Structure 1
Amino acid sequence: MSGAVHTVRVAGLLTRARVRGEGPPLVLVPGLGCASWMYGRVCRELARERTVYAYDPPGHGLSQGRPGFPRTFEDLTEHLSAWLDASGLGRVPLLGHSLGGELVFDLAARHPRQVSALIACAPTGIPENPRVLMQLLRLALDAPRERPLFLPPALAAYVRCGPARLLRLAQDQNRHQTGPLLPHVLAPTLLLDGTSDPVIQAWTLEVIRRLIPHATVSEIPGGTHAVTDSFPRTVARYTLDFLREAGV
């Protein structure tokens, strides 16, 4: 993925995001163990109308981590909040994928001043996270459905994150409860559901929609769990149309 690298120091860690495009800002928040370079296809489409910041959480992608950090889901939320402030982004729309979707819900409920709109692609965490083994089994089912060229950069991202950090955060995700926070999400919200995603079941999106009454759901026929890569133009079209309609 090309683009300039935006770097700020947050909590003593160099935190990076790949930036491309022109126009109002849009922040992309990756899934667990994922990295900015996995989202190049959708960022190219979004960058036609937006300045896209593909953020790397601490210990992910291009960003520094430290031993034992991040340890909890709250660590991820608070780091994202601090990064937005340090980057001078103010009140912005966020697009979260997988665990990144769960993370942007958390941020919008805890720090509403920082969020103008949410787009959640295949978000995790609702109503309960499956155990780590079940998550791995579902990802194994999804892998053959993804674009072959997507798998090497995905594997590189997981290796960069490291098994200890991945396991620690996945285990903490089982403890983290997003459901009670969802009624406090006030920002306009779009939920994107890939119909061929074995990781996130369609009924979970309906649960989220009920808990965020103003949220809308759009289905992407044939969309896999990595729907941002398998259907980048469709994701971008839904996202950009939604942001225009929301006046963001």
Structure 2
Amino acid sequence: MRNVLNRVIASPLVLLILLFAVGSCRRIPDIPVEQLKTKYNIKPTDFVAIGGMNVHYRDEGPANDSVPLVLIHGTGSNLFTWNEWTQSLKDKHRIIRFDLPGFGLTGPHPTDDYTQEIYLNFLHSFLQERGVERCILAGNSLGGEITWQYAMKYPDQVKKMILIGAAGYPTQSQDVPVSYIIMRLPLLREVFEKATTREVIRNSLHYLYADTTKVTDSLVTLYYDMTRREGNREALTERMESIGEDGPWNQLPSIKTPTLLIWGKQDRLIPLEYGQRFDKDLPNSTLVVIPNAGHMPMEETPEQSVKAARRFIEEPGPFF
């Protein structure tokens, strides 16, 4: 990523064009959260107060399931990314999902801090509030990094974990969307914050999906709306500042938690080689590769990915 940034910075023409865009583009307006609540039929009971925020969440399935499945989305996403998994699993399992601070209907963190420590503390407070003493954690991308770091910090609270295109290792990917680069450059962040069009969102989803025909207009609208929730664009660019912070990835072999790794074979953001690296470093892991999926197989190929997850959740002992 750093090499890509350096190449952009070193290009005067690119800088000139983008700086002109900062000054000339009109800001696409935010969407008030109350308007989004109405549009997506969100009830007052779908929120819980945590750390000065009204956190948007869902708690579904059997209430007597003492070890629920807790689902954590990735950067720029929201709890709706888990819709298909939830529908498939909530007949037998309690499923808890939420919008992380800075995303979805939860909106910005009061301190504008989006480091891993903040997210780990938030998750701990959220689980305490919901009365969850032990759970199965599953996370995609940023959510995956939160998952394995939480399992490292609170091993007794995590019975099993599922990492889907998980972040956490230093990456060298050269193939990233222009919007990702812009959000990492302080002088150009305002381009994204002012001019986040539907096409920017559509292009980002095309990058994250293997099969772009699955990027429907309704999916683009959902992500476009949630990105434009008051404060979320600024929060996203703040979050991008924390991406790449040096984490405890060298301590992964210390995690004994049974782990299922689900990776899209065509993941361009965090390629399969990182899934293989997790599989090598985690002492109690199994890697399942979804051939026709990109970075978010739980959303792009829900039937295939949830099948592996269900088996991992429900079968005791060794997996596969």
Which TM-score applies when normalising by structure 2?
Answer: 0.69
> What does residue 183 of structure 1 align with?
253
Measured against aligned partners, the alpha-carbon deviations of 1:47-84 in whole angstroms (never above 9, x if no partner) come to: 23211111211232232534543331210111011111
Aligned length: 247
Identity %: 23
- Structure 2: distance between partners of 1:197 and 1:127: 16
> What does residue 98 of structure 2 align with?
55
Alpha carbons of structure 1 residues 246 and 171: separation in structure 2 relative to 1, 3 Å: farther
Do 2:72 and 2:143's aligned partners in 1 also have CA atoms closer than 8 Å? yes
Of Structure 1 and Structure 2, which has the larger fraction of its residues in strand? 1
> What does residue 18 of structure 1 align with?
58
Do 1:3 and 1:20's aligned partners in 2 also have CA atoms closer than 8 Å? no
Alpha carbons of structure 1 residues 147 and 92: separation in structure 2 relative to 1, 3 Å: same
Paired residue for 2:304, among 220, 229, 234?
Answer: 234
> What does residue 91 of structure 1 align with?
134
Paired residue for 1:119, among 153, 156, 162?
Answer: 162
> What does residue 166 of structure 1 align with?
236
Q: How do residues 112-151 of structure 1 correspond to structure 2 at under 5 angstroms?
A: 112-128=155-171, 136=180, 139=204, 141-142=207-208, 145=212, 146-148=214-216, 149-151=218-220
Give the SS at the match of 1:126.
coil
Deviation at 1:2, TM superposition (A): 8.3
- Structure 2: distance between partners of 1:11 and 1:131: 37
Measured against aligned partners, the alpha-carbon deviations of 1:155-194 in whole angstroms (never above 9, x if no partner) come to: 2233336222112222212113241232232211000011
Greater displacement, 154-163 / 193-202: 154-163
Measured against aligned partners, the alpha-carbon deviations of 1:28-52 in whole angstroms (never above 9, x if no partner) come to: 1010121112321222112232111
> What does residue 80 of structure 1 align with?
123
Which TM-score applies when normalising by structure 1?
Answer: 0.87
- Structure 1: distance between partners of 2:49 and 2:70: 17
Give the SS at the match of 1:27.
strand
> What does residue 266 of structure 2 align with?
196
Whose radius of gyration is greater, 1 or 2? 2
- Structure 1: distance between partners of 2:84 and 2:309: 14
Alpha carbons of structure 1 residues 200 and 218: separation in structure 2 relative to 1, 3 Å: same
Greater displacement, 138-147 / 175-184: 138-147
Deviation at 1:130, TM superposition (A): 5.2
Do 2:168 and 2:247's aligned partners in 1 also have CA atoms closer than 8 Å? yes
- Structure 1: distance between partners of 2:105 and 2:255: 30
Greater displacement, 183-192 / 60-69: 60-69
Give the SS at the match of 2:307.
helix
> What does residue 155 of structure 1 align with?
224
- Structure 2: distance between partners of 1:2 and 1:52: 20
Deviation at 1:197, TM superposition (A): 1.9
Alpha carbons of structure 1 residues 21 and 199: separation in structure 2 relative to 1, 3 Å: same
- Structure 2: distance between partners of 1:188 and 1:65: 33
> What does residue 40 of structure 1 align with?
83
- Structure 1: distance between partners of 2:172 and 2:115: 15
Give the SS at the match of 1:19.
strand
Do 1:7 and 1:17's aligned partners in 2 also have CA atoms closer than 8 Å? yes
Give the SS at the match of 2:102.
coil
> What does residue 49 of structure 2 align with?
9
Task: Extract unaligned runs of 5+ from structure 1.
Answer: none
